[in-house]
Amino acid sequence: MDQLALVAHKKEIDAMRQALEAERQVIYDEFWLKRDPTPNTSRNELKDEFFKRIDFSNRNFTEIASGRSGWQTDRGKIYIVYGAPDNVDRRDSEMNLPAAEVWHYNRLNRKYFFADREGDGIFRLIKVE
């Protein structure tokens, strides 16, 4: 449910949390059914993509130092919500500058700036343009 909170409305998450165990599964299934781009097929492409992004985030953004799974990190959350960026600019740490990444999402006309300010491998979101 915590992962679902990245893409669900607060009301939907609250309803799931307050529901009895048996009702919770029904609410969860309805959540994905409402978002199924092709409801007449057995596959829910949006649900599949969501879990692929969770898996990718866990494989690529897990933070050993903090013990957070990739989906819980700033980069993981952005990746899960918006998908792969169109372009990523990376800078390794230099004398007085931390390692950094800028993720470009052209279709959103947005850039996400991440930096490892402590040098511990934890990239935090520092700015959005």
Q: Where are the domains of the chain?
A: 1-35, 44-128
Q: Does the reported pTM lie above 0.75?
A: yes
Query: Is the model's pLDDT at 1 over the cut of 90?
Result: no
Residues whose CB falls within 8 Å of the CB of residue 76, separated by 6 or more in sequence, listed in order: 57, 58, 61, 69, 70
pLDDT digits (tens, 9 = 90+) for 55-71: 999 999 999 888 999 99
Tell me the C-alpha to C-alpha distance, in Å, between residue 34 and each of 46, 56, 102, 123, 128. 10, 24, 33, 34, 30
Quick one: which of 110, 115, 112 has its CA closest to 102?
A: 112
Q: How confident is the model at residue 96 (pLDDT cuts 50, 70, 90)?
A: confident
Pairing type for strands 99-105 and 124-128 reads unpaired
How many residues can be counted in the chain? Answer: 129
Query: Is the model's pLDDT at 115 over the cut of 90?
Result: yes
